Amino acid sequence: MMDIGFEIHVGDFVKTIGSKVGYITDICKCSECERRGFYEPSVMYLDGSKDDITYYEAMYGFKGYEQIGIHKFIKEKIERLQPTINTYDAINKENIVARFDKIELPNIIEIVAKVNDIIDYLNKEQI
């Protein structure tokens, strides 16, 4: 059995990279699907069209899909923060972090650098 990392069920939400939205209506149980180790689901899109998610698509990571069920394939890249005076002003004006009035600007730059390290790590993990 091919391990795709998640299960597909009848009724699961489907969204393609072309923004077509639909749901899984059936999952093939034929001997050919059993031999390959991937039971191909059928999709009914809201525009009335139908399609199957094929073994080939599963082998190559479902590149034509943004989401199947709760599994999302395309992740938005998080933008890095830019340590500027404006960043410091925005934090103070928006009160996003309590009591920044006693923190020196170099400390803000260090905090932004650490946040950017975390953002870089998260973006690397999504690839």
Please give the residue that has the higher pLDDT: either 67 or 94: 67
- Quick one: pLDDT at residue 99? 46
Question: What DSSP character marks residue 100?
Answer: G
Alpha-carbon distance values, 31 to 4, 28, 38, 39, 40 (Å): 19, 9, 10, 9, 11
Alpha-carbon distance values, 25 to 30, 43, 62, 105 (Å): 16, 6, 18, 57
Q: Count of CB atoms within 10 A of residue 84's CB?
A: 13
Answer positive or negative: Cα dihedral of 44, 47, 49, 52.
negative
The pLDDT of 33-49, averaged and rounded, is 93
pLDDT > 90: percent of the chain: 36
Q: Is the pTM of this model over 0.85?
A: no
Give 31's pLDDT tier (boundaries 50, 70, 90). very high
Please give the residue that has the higher pLDDT: either 65 or 76: 65
The pLDDT of 87-105, averaged and rounded, is 49
Supply 22's token pair. Answer: 């639909």
- Quick one: pLDDT at residue 98? 46
Residues 27 and 41: their CA atoms lie apart, in Å, by 4
